[in-house]
């Protein structure tokens, strides 16, 4: 592991809570951008969510989008500047609730972009409300008795859902809840950027991530929550890989 600050990260302390996964995912994305030497041709989109201040941390061009709209915004930029590298960085509310249509259609068009999807099963920024990925029985401020299968519906499994679309090149679900998971996550993120460089189309990496504050858990217990609870509902693995060629 490299302990130097990647060039793609600014020398700035983040605002994230102790034990939050966003900082780890930022670092992985930045390391990959450094390693691929694409910082100066990369444009990132910031979501509305805890990662809205992405531009305070990322040392590359960033556009902050309306809640849920990053895939549409990235589409606009990428179509005008096809040789630039576009990544969206989105939470579960952004990507799988308010922005579901934008996600599905960007994926279905096979937009040649890289989506980093941080699934923490809760709305972090607004203080712990139910997310589309909140699990059955999971407490949130808007499911005080736990999420119910019938009133609220079960958690949306994004990789499984998108795997049905022909336009998608690559889908993998990873986690940042252990050192081994972090190494795997890095590989997946790298592949998602490499696919774009090779013009292979839509790649999405779903990252299971910790939100100790809104889960009301101490940081180490939050890792356990991912390992023991989330991984059961959201199994890790590759859900689609057509990176051998876009039209195979």
Partner 1 sequence: MAEKVLLKGNELLVEAAIEAGCRFFAGYPITPQNEVPETMSWRMPQAGGVFIQAESEIAAINMLFGASAAGARCMTSSSSPGISLKQEGISYITAAELPCLIVNMQRGGPGLGNIRAAQGDYFQAVKGGGHGDYRLIVLVPGTLPELYQLTMNAFDYADFYRNPVLILGDGILGQMAEPVELTPYEPILDLPPKDYVLDGCKGRPPRVVKTLYLHPTDSLVQHNLHLQEKYARIRRELNLYEEYETEDAELIVSAYGVPGRIAKGAVKMARREGIRAGLIRPLCVWPFPAAPFRKAAQTAGRFLVVEMSFGQYVEDVKLAIECRRPVAFLGKGGGWYPSQEEILEEIRRLSSKAQDPASVKGSV
Ligand X SMILES: Cc1ncc(C[n+]2csc(CCOP(=O)(O)OP(=O)(O)O)c2C)c(N)n1
Contact positions toward ligand X, by CB under 6 A? Answer: 48-51, 67, 91-94, 118, 120, 122-126, 131
Residue closer to ligand X, measured from CB, 90 or 195: 90
> Closer CB to partner 1, residue 117 or residue 225?
117
Residue 134 interacts with, from partner 1, ligand X, none (CB under 5-8 Å by kind): none
Q: Tell me how far, at minimum, the Cβ of 18 lies from ligand X, in Å.
A: 15
**Closest distance between partner 1 and the C-beta of residue 102, in Å?**
5
C-beta of 92 vs 111, nearer to ligand X:
92
In the bound complex, what is the minimum distance in angstroms from residue 73's beta carbon to partner 1?
Answer: 4
Tell me how far, at minimum, the Cβ of 152 lies from ligand X, in Å: 15
Name the binder of 223 from ligand X, partner 1, none, CB < 5-8 A by kind.
none
Which residues are paired to 171 by β-bridges? 204, 240
DSSP 109-139: HT-S-EEEEEE-SSBTTTTSB--TTPPBT--
Could you tell which of partner 1, ligand X, none binds residue 76, using a CB distance below 5 to 8 A set by kind?
partner 1
50 versus 176: smaller Cβ distance to ligand X: 50
- Site residues (CB under 8 A) for partner 1? 39-43, 46, 52-53, 55, 58-66, 69, 72-81, 84-85, 101-102, 104-105
Q: Which residue's CB is nearer to partner 1, number 74 or number 189?
A: 74
- The binder of 42, among partner 1, ligand X, none, by C-beta within 5 to 8 A per type, is partner 1
Cα–Cα distance measured from residue 92 to residue 100, given in angstroms and rounded to the nearest whole number: 10
Binder of residue 208, out of partner 1, ligand X, none (CB less than 5 to 8 A by kind) = none
Of 68 and 110, nearer to ligand X (C-beta) is 68
Alpha-carbon dihedral of residues 97, 101, 107, 112, nearest 10 degrees?
-100
CA quadruple 29, 199, 94, 123: dihedral positive or negative? negative
């Amino acid at each position: 592991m490299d302990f130097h600050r990647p060039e793609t990260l600014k020398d700035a302390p983040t605002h994230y809570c102790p034990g939050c996964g966003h900082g780890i995912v930022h670092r992985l994305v930045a390391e990959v951008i450094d390693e691929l030497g694409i910082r100066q041709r990369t444009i990132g989109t910031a979501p509305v969510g805890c990662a809205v201040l992405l531009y305070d941390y990322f040392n590359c061009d960033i556009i902050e989008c309306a809640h849920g709209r990053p895939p549409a915004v990235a589409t606009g930029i990428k179509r005008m500047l096809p040789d630039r590298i576009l990544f969206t960085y989105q939470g579960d509310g952004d990507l799988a609730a308010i922005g579901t249509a934008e996600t599905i259609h960007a994926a279905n068009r096979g937009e040649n972009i890289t989506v980093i999807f941080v699934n923490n099963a809760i709305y972090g920024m607004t203080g712990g409300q139910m997310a589309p990925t909140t699990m059955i029985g999971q407490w949130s401020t808007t499911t005080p008795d736990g999420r119910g299968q019938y009133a609220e519906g079960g958690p949306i499994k994004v990789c499984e859902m998108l795997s049905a679309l022909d336009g998608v090149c690559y889908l993998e679900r990873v986690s940042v809840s252990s050192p081994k998971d972090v190494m795997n996550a890095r590989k997946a993120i790298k592949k998602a950027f490499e696919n774009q460089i090779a013009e292979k189309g839509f790649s999405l990496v779903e990252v299971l991530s910790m939100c100790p504050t809104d889960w009301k858990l101490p940081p180490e217990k939050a890792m356990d929550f991912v390992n023991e609870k989330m991984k059961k509902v959201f199994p890790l693995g590759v859900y689609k890989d057509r990176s051998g060629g876009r039209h195979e």
